[in-house]
């Protein structure tokens, strides 16, 4: 149990927002109970209380819990008052202890709205969270909450500041195709791959005209590289054609260390209907088409690997946690739980299956926690 308890060490110094006479339950113990509950399927503070009381004997093997398990009202009240920045710093310290090798690792940054986290009574809008997802490691490296999707642009530099990204490849969608963002990524010692759309009209027009010119020459141009893939599954077939070329020298004057311009043509056939899409991108990586295709594909995978799992398996969009900072704290607990479950190798099962087995069997839960702590 020592290795299990060690996983929570980084939360020991978390500032408790309560006055001394109201501290019947230690804050770090509440964090432990809430995280274990999230791993095992809890969806709200009432679930956390039920889980804690059911597992009280097990928890007391490594926690004091002198006053038992806190009530769901106490969990909700305390977590609504926590300093989210401080809590995120604890998360960062926890992730960084594993010293993941980030060289050439894809880091997809994308936003998601937790739809039912709004509170009409207090005028609180739904929580929108921008997350950094290591696509190959399958670990959430951090998150920043914003007021809405329109504010994502200002949130990304804040998130970048939290992360250790030396050697990584940061991928973002067209909203974040900003010169300042590209510079911020390079300043962190990472490379960027940014999708380009009409929010950058001059750049988009230049790339469109350039690849039309390449097409007129049947893409038989010196320095141009091409790679095609085809995937079948779930009743549909998707073909992607990737084209990359060295970036024109004049773009280097405005885009930090830009080396590559690229285009992707996507053709998807589903239920007898044909869907086509063409998009452009720029990157500080050299024009190696297979490597760039891998990172683009990894960025698109954030929907299945992170957002879809949070929605379907963790039922995040159905969460009614709304008070104060508690929606953001609950979001962090879900991602912490997902980190642990995604990286687990002790049992072979889906994320849902692991959650069920961990809830039913204390030995399984211990093995999952201990295994993650030894990564």
In the β-sheet with 127-134, what is the strand arrangement from edge to edge? 139-146, 127-134, 106-114, 169-172, 191-196, 273-283, 260-270, 236-246, 225-233
Among candidate residues 181, 99, 359, the one with its CA nearest the CA of residue 351: 359
Model confidence over 11-36: pLDDT tens digits? 777 888 988 877 899 998 999 999 99
pLDDT of residue 292: 96
Residue 43 has pLDDT above 60, yes or no: yes
**Position 316 confidence tier, pLDDT thresholds 50, 70, 90:** confident
Residue 245 has pLDDT above 80, yes or no: yes
**Position 326 confidence tier, pLDDT thresholds 50, 70, 90:** confident
Distance CA 126, CA 284 (A): 35
Residue 213 has pLDDT above 80, yes or no: yes
Find the DSSP H helices in 121-280: 152-162, 179-187, 201-216
Distance CA 62, CA 28 (A): 12
pLDDT of residue 127: 79
pLDDT of residue 118: 63
pLDDT of residue 286: 97
- 88-107 mean pLDDT: 78
Distance CA 227, CA 135 (A): 21
Determine which helix (DSSP H) or strand (DSSP E) holds 230, and give its type and residue range. Answer: strand 225-233
**Position 239 confidence tier, pLDDT thresholds 50, 70, 90:** very high
Distance CA 132, CA 67 (A): 38
Distance CA 49, CA 175 (A): 41
Among candidate residues 163, 164, 130, the one with its CA nearest the CA of residue 145: 130
Rounded to the nearest integer, the mean pLDDT of the chain is 88
pLDDT of residue 148: 57
Strand pairing category for 191-196 and 127-134: unpaired
Give CA angle at 35 (58, 155), nearest 5°.
170
Share of the chain above pLDDT 90, in %: 52
**Position 147 confidence tier, pLDDT thresholds 50, 70, 90:** low
Model confidence over 186-202: pLDDT tens digits? 999 999 999 999 889 99
Count helices and strands in the chain by DSSP H and E runs: 15, 9
pLDDT of residue 124: 62
- 125-141 mean pLDDT: 85
- 70-85 mean pLDDT: 92
pLDDT of residue 1: 60
Six-digit token string for 195 = 């999708």
**Position 149 confidence tier, pLDDT thresholds 50, 70, 90:** low
Where in the chain are the domains? Answer: 2-96+323-373, 175-293
Which 3 state secondary structure label does DSSP give 126? coil
Residue 117 has pLDDT above 80, yes or no: no
Residue 120 has pLDDT above 90, yes or no: no
């Amino acid at each position: 149990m020592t290795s299990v308890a060690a996983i929570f060490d980084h939360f020991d110094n978390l500032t408790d927002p309560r006055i001394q006479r109201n501290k019947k339950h230690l804050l770090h113990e509440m964090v432990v109970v809430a995280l274990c509950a999230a791993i095992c399927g809890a969806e709200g503070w009432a679930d956390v209380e039920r889980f804690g009381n059911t597992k009280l004997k097990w928890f007391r093997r490594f926690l004091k819990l002198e006053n038992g398990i806190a009530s769901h009202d106490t969990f909700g009240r305390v977590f609504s008052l926590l300093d989210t920045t401080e809590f995120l710093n604890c998360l960062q310290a926890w992730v960084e202890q594993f010293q993941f090798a980030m060289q050439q690792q894809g880091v997809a940054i994308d936003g998601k709205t937790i739809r039912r986290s709004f509170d009409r009574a207090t005028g609180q809008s739904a929580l929108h969270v921008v997350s950094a997802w290591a696509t190959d490691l399958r670990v959430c490296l951090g998150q920043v909450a914003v007021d809405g999707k329109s504010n994502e642009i200002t949130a990304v530099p804040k998130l970048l500041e939290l992360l250790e990204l030396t050697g990584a490849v940061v991928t973002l969608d067209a909203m974040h195709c900003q010169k300042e963002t590209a510079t911020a990524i390079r300043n962190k010692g990472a490379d960027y791959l940014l999708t380009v759309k009409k929010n950058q009209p001059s750049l988009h027009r230049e790339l469109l005209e350039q690849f039309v010119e390449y097409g007129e020459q049947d893409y038989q141009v010196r320095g141009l590289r091409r790679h095609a893939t085809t995937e079948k599954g779930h009743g549909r077939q998707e073909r992607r054609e990737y084209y990359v070329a060295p970036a024109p020298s004049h773009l280097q004057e405005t885009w930090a260390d830009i080396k590559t311009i690229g285009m992707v043509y996507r053709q998807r056939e589903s239920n007898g209907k044909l869907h086509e899409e063409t998009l452009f991108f720029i990157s500080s990586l050299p024009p190696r088409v297979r490597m760039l295709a891998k990172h683009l594909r990894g960025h698109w995978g954030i929907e299945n690997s992170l957002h879809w799992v949070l929605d379907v398996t963790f039922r995040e969009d159905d969460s009614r946690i709304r008070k104060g900072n508690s929606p953001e704290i609950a979001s962090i607990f879900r991602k912490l739980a997902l980190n642990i479950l995604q990286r687990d190798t002790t049992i072979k099962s889906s994320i849902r299956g692991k959650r069920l087995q961990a809830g039913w069997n204390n030995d399984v839960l211990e093995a999952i926690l201990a295994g993650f702590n030894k990564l």
